[in-house]
Structure 1
């Protein structure tokens, strides 16, 4: 008889059910085909039947309260250990820091052999977090930065951590059908007779929306038919609304809130703008590329390697440069069309799910081999 090799069992630790679920799906799909078998655990968020069906078999929802993931996270570890009881995983794919620490704890409990810690942001390891990574240099841990810029940042921050176990794994996004422009504008409740710049992301300082509002204001005063739509929520929303009022642009700026269906609505925007002060990769930027939208973005973190020469990159924290880029694309419809087509072609060539799966599977095989 021919011996059947057992699958490489992979446990995905996902922070919650609200954000990045499409990316978690890509991770799961890539590592749920021979020789891999995946189990997903959402640490926070109530059981979601539609999400569970979308993710396939072996999905669990722990629905942990926020306090369970604070401090030593012993309540979270207890619940997670109970959910994994009787199993042993070759790999834990842990998204963000809290999940990473839980993955390392599972290794100490001999529930798992190796952790792939996915680092989505640049510069997130300070204080206690920094010490955790420094102490883990001898642990079965590989860090996956979501861009080459994120990988380089990790190498510089942790000079004693083995460089061979710090890798770049660029994110990817799937193709997605778009509504017509008229339909998308209606869903977002945006005036159909305006030229809309749009941006998608959390309304927090690092995303730079205060810079975008300041850059938009001179054009808005000059061209009443312009509009700026911000799709997202966050702790800076009240301050941004107040700034828009102070700049005299509140009639032209729309705060659209968080929307799970935002990818189908990108057709509402003539141009997508991402003024981040830092960015590990830029999933929303990649989504705009798939939607064939022209893009203006800050030249920070992993953004230049994502966009290449196919978009308008501006220095961060310089509203005047951002104003000039907004005007250039407003004035040039031919450039907008050519840029949108070039960005979609770049996504197909470099950031599609197929390329992502190949890279992730290679990293997982290497980590699993080292763990055995």
Structure 2
């Protein structure tokens, strides 16, 4: 059996999605051939570990059939059909709804193939999507989601079963790569003393809530003037965030270092990790922080409560006052005890075992 991993796009902005697919595919038998298709973008820095990679170099308009590209949808599907039919692929792992829309129509003509569509976040399901999913039998199509919260929402919308594959990371492998507090702070050019630092990681886009976090951070400085904020990531909101940091006079307090390939090794530089997202499919950053022994302050979202329950520290999304108060409270408690409680509830070792079992079953069921 050969497996084809089909990703919507390459590039640093999609690194967390690629990381999840890497973890899933690592569960299959070592001798199983695995290759990757990238519909958009470049493979550099994302999928080097997943067999040979084919870059299709398609645009978003092409894949979505916008404008005159709608006339060429059948041509694009014919290319996919030919490539699949000439291969020994039997299982496809599809990255989300956009990839499913592009590939599932082709699978109707290739009944020997099986597909697993993995949803990473909330998405708008259209009537055409419901029709598309209903046209393939359960023996040929499995839908999965990276959290129970997301799976339940999709099931209610689609009225078909969705498997929960709550993403997890190998705790031993993850912790082995972590830098010490001193090393991580030196890497980020932060003070290596006891200066308190709040960290955040994610794409610089509106739904990540970083604008709210910066405003809340500014208010928090009145009680904690030594506090620093580091937001690792890149995105279209960078200019606006930088402008606001400058307006608030916080250039020496807020660090925006961009995308860092070694970001997952740097968590111990921080006293707290903040996740101010407006929505999330899972929030892999939460798991990484907990495994690093760093307490998490997150938006009060169901998907975060699913993982941390009563051990979590929460604030209302986009509420600057609530976030400022939550930061002040967090900085006033013993962070080690909060981190220990969150580690116990998340139980990374058990979560990894369950993830591994479900991933293997998911791919084997698609044989």
- Work out the CA distance in 2 between the residues paired with 1:367 and 1:197: 43
Gap runs ≥5 in structure 1: 1-6
- Work out the CA distance in 2 between the residues paired with 1:10 and 1:358: 18
Count of aligned pairs: 347
Alignment pair present for 1:64 and 2:57 = yes
Match of 1:243 in 2: 244
- Work out the CA distance in 2 between the residues paired with 1:204 and 1:266: 21
TM normalised by structure 2 equals 0.85
- Work out the CA distance in 2 between the residues paired with 1:185 and 1:254: 12
- Work out the CA distance in 1 between the residues paired with 2:75 and 2:233: 31
Alignment pair present for 1:153 and 2:153 = yes
TM normalised by structure 1 equals 0.84
Gap runs ≥5 in structure 2: none
Range 86-95 or range 23-32, more displaced: 86-95
CA contact (8 A) 2:108 2:136 kept: no
Q: CA deviation at 1:301?
A: 4.0
Q: CA deviation at 1:326?
A: 1.0
Match of 1:363 in 2: 362
Match of 1:228 in 2: 229
Match of 1:16 in 2: 9
Match of 1:171 in 2: 167
Q: CA deviation at 1:251?
A: 2.5
Q: CA deviation at 1:288?
A: 0.9
Q: In structure 2, the residue corresponding to 1:256 is in which secondary structure? A: strand
Query: Which runs of structure 1 show a deviation greater than 6 angstroms over 4 or more consecutive aligned residues?
Result: none
CA 91–318 in structure 1, closer or farther in 2 if over 3 Å, else same: same
Q: CA deviation at 1:203?
A: 1.0
Q: CA deviation at 1:50?
A: 9.3
Alignment RMSD, CA only?
2.6
User: What are the Cα deviations for residues 32-73 of structure 1, in whole angstroms up to 9, with x where unaligned?
Assistant: 458x65333233344559953x33xx4223251425434155
- Work out the CA distance in 2 between the residues paired with 1:216 and 1:226: 8
**Aligned pairs (5 A) from 1:146-225:** 146-158=146-158, 161-162=159-160, 165-175=161-171, 176=174, 177-193=177-193, 194-225=195-226
CA contact (8 A) 1:274 1:297 kept: yes
CA 168–216 in structure 1, closer or farther in 2 if over 3 Å, else same: same
User: What are the Cα deviations for residues 84-136 of structure 1, in whole angstroms up to 9, with x where unaligned?
Assistant: 342354332101222212331331231753321111112x115xx55223432
